[in-house]
Amino acid sequence: MVCLLEKYAEYFPVTSKTPILSLGEGNTPLIPLDNLSLKLGVELYAKCEGLNPTGSFKDRGMVLAVSKALEAGASGIICASTGNTSASAAAYAAKAGIKCHVVLPAGKVARGKLIQALIYGANVLAIHGNFDVALDMTRKLADDLGLDIVNSVNPYRLWGQRSGAWEVCDEIGAPDWCVLPVGNAGNISAYWAGFVQYRRAGLIASIPRMIGIQAKGAAPLVMGRPFEKPETVATAIRIGNPVNAKKAMAAVKSSKGMFLAVSDEEILIAQKDLASSEGIFAEPASCATLAGLYKLRKQGDLPKKVRVVMVLTGNGLKDPEIVGKMILSPNEVAAEYETLREAILSC
User: Closest approach of Cβ 335 to ligand AN7, in Å?
Assistant: 39
Report the nearest approach of ligand AN7 to the CB of residue 181 (Å): 4
Q: Of 203 and 226, which CB lies nearer to ligand AN7 in the complex structure?
A: 226
Q: In this complex, which beta carbon is closest to ligand AN7, that of residue 184 or of residue 241?
A: 184
Q: How far is the CB of 39 from ligand AN7 (least distance, A)?
A: 23
Nearer to ligand AN7, 6 or 213 (CB): 213
Nearest distance from residue 17's CB to ligand AN7, in Å? 28
Select 17 or 128, whichever has its Cβ closest to ligand AN7: 128
Nearer residue to ligand AN7 within complex by CB, 125 or 203: 125
* C-beta closer to ligand AN7: residue 85 or 271: 85
Give dist(CA 77, CA 87) in Å, integer: 13
54, 288 Cβ separation under 8 angstroms: no
Residue ranges binding ligand AN7 (CB under 6 A): 56, 81-85, 152, 181-187, 236-237, 283, 285-286, 313-314
- Closest distance between ligand AN7 and the C-beta of residue 187, in Å? 4
- CB of 239: closest distance to ligand AN7 in angstroms? 6
